[in-house]
Amino acid sequence: MNNSLSIEEIFNLVRDTLNRAGSSSHQSEAVADTISRAERDGSVSHGLFRLPGYFASLKSGKVNPNPNPNLSQITKAVLKCDGDRSYAPLVHKKFLNNLVNVSKDIGVGILSINRVAHFASLWPETEILAENGLVGIACTSYMPAVAPFGASKKLYGTNPISFAWPRKNENPIVFDMATSSLALGDVQIAARDGHDLPIGTGIDKNGNDTTDPKKILEGMLLPFGGYKGSHFAMMIEFLAGPLVGETTSFITKENNINDGGPPLGGQFIMALAPEIISDLNDWDKNAEPFIEKLSSFDGVRIPGKRRHDNRNNIEKVEVNSELLNKIYSLK
Amino acid sequence: MNNSLSIEEIFNLVRDTLNRAGSSSHQSEAVADTISRAERDGSVSHGLFRLPGYFASLKSGKVNPNPNPNLSQITKAVLKCDGDRSYAPLVHKKFLNNLVNVSKDIGVGILSINRVAHFASLWPETEILAENGLVGIACTSYMPAVAPFGASKKLYGTNPISFAWPRKNENPIVFDMATSSLALGDVQIAARDGHDLPIGTGIDKNGNDTTDPKKILEGMLLPFGGYKGSHFAMMIEFLAGPLVGETTSFITKENNINDGGPPLGGQFIMALAPEIISDLNDWDKNAEPFIEKLSSFDGVRIPGKRRHDNRNNIEKVEVNSELLNKIYSLK
């Protein structure tokens, strides 16, 4: 089997697979764009690895095969979207541009999203905002997989957050990370490949430290960075849950169709216009010397740079053969 | 010497001390309010401990003894304040109410502050927002004290961030924490009291691990939580710096009068209205079960609860005698 695929072949594979499960082409292409961009950038855990989960959520009826997400403008700064049980990338494709316009007009905009299934990274949405000259912040909460600091019961999702800082003539600075010690996808990949994980990544179902990813999957992850990371995980429960009119992770789980994928839920996306908030046309003059300094330090990784570098050099992606077989056999 | 003071006595001590250094009563009282609230809540490192620093910054001429901060409304969502070299609490006292009004009107508001000296915690400002039914987020950046993850040179301030979640019939949930492993004030107190600090708190000036707070003060702190915490520290450099039209920490330091206290700089404060963003009057129905669940877990500390508990039980505060002598002798 040829498991070396071009980005276009990955796009087509995703689109055709989701179409086969009944999705509208419009929705399939939005997801295909997100997955192929992840593979292009070397983000394996959010690439094709997710496709069987997407497929299952169409088959289970959780995700609407032919959704029609709609947008309402609540105020000059706040947009609200009912996702109509779509995949989040469809909402982004349709409405991120509205958020850009609101934010450029009034300095800040919020896109408050309900009823979407978010299986992807968050950088695709914040990166687009930054490419439009805006600061992007996005977060979402998943089903409980993480114990609050000090506890040995799950309550928080892996609750990722992404932040993007725009630059006038360079790629934006973008980070996107789980507030758990590790993303759930990475634990799943470690379990699949039989790799141990460091102590502190998670605990088993009885609350004991373990290095075995399978025991962590049966048990729970820990937040990154002790009580401080736990506070950020909690913050994201509030922002991507009650603030946007959705439940928090543990209630979301109770309402979820248990098909293995993420539940339907909310997303909080915010854009900030530095030109307006700083009241300076040359707002970047205060940021560029800092980025230059940070880049000059030995041992420092500029967030987003590896993805941008991968992107520039990519021709073909080697896809795990077992995964590819699984995708071909999905029905 | 009687070193057991009531909150009112602490308020008066701060006001009289700053008046003695030439500050307008209006400004002195804003700071006295902030410091006495910190002592009331048991936040020792942001209480009277800071007063000699405030005093020094008036004496050095860094802080304006009789400032007149002014506010301009850039858009319906963005307020900009020139602090006129005041202490930040004066700006909050004057203008946080404007931020409340903007946010209740349009769903989100930003107060972009320049040219203030911020010596205090951030919870006083986010807590007020939450007491008005708003989500509060505030951050500020200090002079470089923290090495980015992987480096052994300072670039980030201790860069605190505070988040407050409003509740209808209960005290808000509020966290306020440095994105360094420890707040600088706590390292200073450990140095004063001769306590060791855990490995991972900071490194000496040559980049070596150390448990000695004095060596960390000569060297640098580390971010909390490895590269993820480092990303948050970086995010705050952008938000409280270039986004609000200010420099980042390392440039701020170059422009600073070296009087021992924090430099003049910016602050980013944002308020979000859950009723508008969720488009629900009963937005709290999604948050309260989560808070209840979190509170039911053994070993979990609800952020802000200790401060609120201290507040309810306070009569007198025992102040460090050496500190009190130092304050009495300030001139």
Tell if the CB–CB gap between B298 and A112 is shorter than 8 Å: no
Q: In this predicted complex, what is the ipTM?
A: 0.95
Chain B residues in contact with A107 (beta carbon < 8 A): 74-75, 77-78, 110
Residues within 8 A of B (CB atoms), A 109-138 only: 110, 112, 135
Structure tokens at B66: 């009789």
Tell me if residue B116 falls in helix, strand or coil: strand
The percent of chain A in helix, strand and coil, each rounded to the nearest 5, is 45, 20, 35
| Torsion B10-B84-A276-A286 (CA) sign | negative
**Which residues neighbour A296 within 8 Å (Cβ) at sequence distance 6 or greater?**
none
Q: Please report residues of A whose CB lies closer than 8 A to that of B151.
A: 297-300
Distances (CA, A) of B239 to A135, B228, B232: 9, 17, 10
Question: Which residues in chain A (133-162) have CB-CB distances under 8 A to chain B?
Answer: 135, 148-153, 155
Which member of A78, A298, A303 has the closest CB to residue B151? A298
Q: Render the burial of A162-201: b for 16+ CB within 10 Å, e for the rest.
A: bbbbbbeeebbbbbbbbbbbbbbbbbbbbbeeeeebeeeb
* Contact assessment for residue B254 and residue B248, using Cβ atoms and an 8 Å cutoff: no
Subunit contact B297:A155, Cβ cutoff 8 A? yes
| 3-state SS assignment for residue A77 | coil
- The answer, for B80 touching chain A at a CB cutoff of 8 Å, is yes
**Chain A: closest CA distance from residue B317 (Å):** 27
Given A186, A230, A249, A284, which residue is catalytic? A186
B18 to chain A nearest CA, in Å?
Answer: 31
- E-assigned strand segments in chain A: 4-6, 70-73, 78-87, 108-117, 135-140, 161-165, 173-177, 202-203, 220-221, 264-272, 316-318
B42-59: string of b/e by CB count within 10 Å (b at 16+)? ebbbbbbbbbbebbbbbe
- Both tokens of A215, joined, read 């025991």
Any residues with CB less than 8 A from the CB of B130 and at least 6 apart, and which? Answer: B136, B164, B165, B166, B167, B172, B173, B174
B 290-319 near A (Cβ less than 8 A): 290, 293-294, 297-301, 303
In tens digits, what is the pLDDT along chain A, a chain of 331 residues? 679 999 999 999 999 999 999 999 999 999 999 999 999 998 888 899 999 999 999 999 999 999 999 999 999 999 999 999 999 999 999 999 999 999 999 999 999 999 999 888 999 999 999 999 999 999 999 789 999 999 999 999 999 999 999 999 999 999 999 999 998 888 988 999 999 999 899 999 999 999 999 999 999 999 999 999 999 999 999 999 999 999 999 998 888 887 777 789 999 999 999 999 999 999 999 999 999 999 999 989 999 999 998 888 788 999 999 999 999 999 8
The backbone torsions φ and ψ at residue A40, rounded to the nearest 5 degrees and listed phi first, read -55, -40
The per-residue pLDDT for B53 is: 93
Instruction: Return d(Cα A71, Cα A269) in angstroms, integer.
Output: 14
pLDDT at A143: 84
Token couple for A58: 């169409």
Sign of the Cα torsion A53, A56, A60, A65 reads positive
Q: Which of B162, B186, B230, B284 is catalytic?
A: B186
The closest of A131, A129, A108, A121 to A277, measured between CA atoms, is A108
Q: Which of A6, A24, A45, A278 is catalytic?
A: A45
Query: Which residues touch A293 (CB under 8 Å, ≥6 apart)?
Result: B155, B250
What is the DSSP track for A107-164? Answer: SEEEEEEEEEE--S-SHHHHHHHHHTT-EEEEEE--SS-BPPTT-SS--B----EEEE
pLDDT of B146: 97
CA distances from B212 to B190, B220, B300 (A): 9, 11, 29
Query: Which residue in B has a C-alpha nearest to residue A241's C-alpha?
Result: B286
3-state secondary structure of B278: helix
Report the alpha-carbon distance of residue B113 to residue B101 in Å, rounded. 17
B186 labelled catalytic:
yes
Cβ–Cβ below 8 Å for B245 and A149: no
Task: For chain B, list residues with pLDDT below 70.
Answer: 1
How far apart (Å, rounded) are the C-alpha atoms in residues A126 and A175? 9
Selected residues 6-65 of chain A with any CB under 8 Å from a CB in chain B:
none
Token pair for A223: 């937040």
B9 alpha carbon, distance to own chain's centre: 22
Partnered with residue A108 across adjacent β-strands are: A272
Give the pLDDT of residue B203: 96
Are B138 and B115 in contact by the 8 Å Cβ rule? The answer is: no
Q: And the tokens for A212?
A: 């075995």
Angstrom distance (rounded) from CA A161 to CA A178: 6
Which of A177, A238, A283 comes nearest B231 by C-beta?
A177
Domain residue extents for chain A:
70-180+223-304
Which among B224, B235, B289 is the nearest to A163, CB-wise?
B235
The conformation of residue A226, written as its DSSP 8-state character, comes to: H
Taking domain B70-180+223-304, whether its CATH number is 3.40.50.970 is answered by no
Of B148, B232, B301, Cβ closest to residue A150: B301
A265 SS3 class: strand
3-state secondary structure of B42: coil
Round the CA-based radius of gyration of chain A to a whole number and report it.
Answer: 20
Predicted local distance difference test score (pLDDT) of residue B43: 86
For A113, name the nearest residue in chain B, comparing CA atoms only.
Answer: B278
Rounded to the nearest 5°, which phi and psi values hold at B63?
-95, 140
